[in-house]
Each structure stands twice: as C-alpha cells, then as structure tokens.
Copies of this chain bind each other. A is one copy, B any other.
Amino acid sequence: MKAVRSTTAKFEIQSLIANSAVALSHTEIQANTKGLCNRVTIYRVLERLMDEGLVHKVVNVDGVVKYANCHTCSTKHNHNHIHFSCQKCKSVTCLDDVEPTFKLPKKYKVNEMNFTLSGLCPQCS
C-alpha cells in the first residue's frame, strides 16, 4: 500500500473543491491556483483525491470532466444522485437529495448511474 503524503498542492486543490458550491474542471482548478503547481500535478492530485474518496468525478453533458466534493464517501464512491448543469453559467451542481426512479426493461445489470439535468440554475433563471 502506498503511504499518503500531504503536500501544499494537494491541500490547496482539495480546499478549492471542498469550498466550491459547484463542480470544477481541471481548467478551472488550474485558473484558480495560478502558479501553485504544474499542470500535470493537478491531474495527479485529482487522481489521488479520488482514490482517497475525497472527490468524485462528474462528466458534464458536453463531455467536460469536473470534480466535486464527496459528502458521504469513504472506501467506495456512492453517487446515485442527480447533477444539474446550467446552460448559462456552465455550473455543475450535485443535487444530493434527489434519487430518480425508473424501470429497466431487459436483462441489463446496472452498476452505476450518471444522471444530469440541464437548464437554468436558480441563480440564472
């Protein structure tokens, strides 16, 4: 097992995500940590934060990968909630309390779900 080490880059990036109301992309994180560390380091820190269950990945409807704080994850990720993607301000928010229901027709085996609504967020509507 690899030992976890705390570094400035990791701390700053995790704080940034934890204090953000919306999910952040790699590009946004880079813009908000000017000069903190190398571009590659951000990728590697994000990977580690996901391994440690502190952050989860959200793929937006346009294919852009974003990262959000985990509220209830420890050893394994559990994200059966809806994400909301604002078409105007491009923010992506986790709607932690909403769980959708559906009935599957055939013999599919479901492991994960990824549900994103897009439209206007409360700030933009």
A-to-B contact residues, CB < 8 Å: 59-65, 82, 84, 87, 95, 97-122, 125
Contacts and interface: CB of A to CB of B under 8 A. Distances in A.
A109 B99 contact: no
Contact of A61 (B95, B112, B120): B112
Contacts of A117: 104, 108, 110, 112-114
Contacts of A107: 122, 125
Nearest to A113: B117
A68 to B, nearest CB: 15
A84 B111 CA distance: 11
Contacts of A97: 105
A74 to B, nearest CB: 21
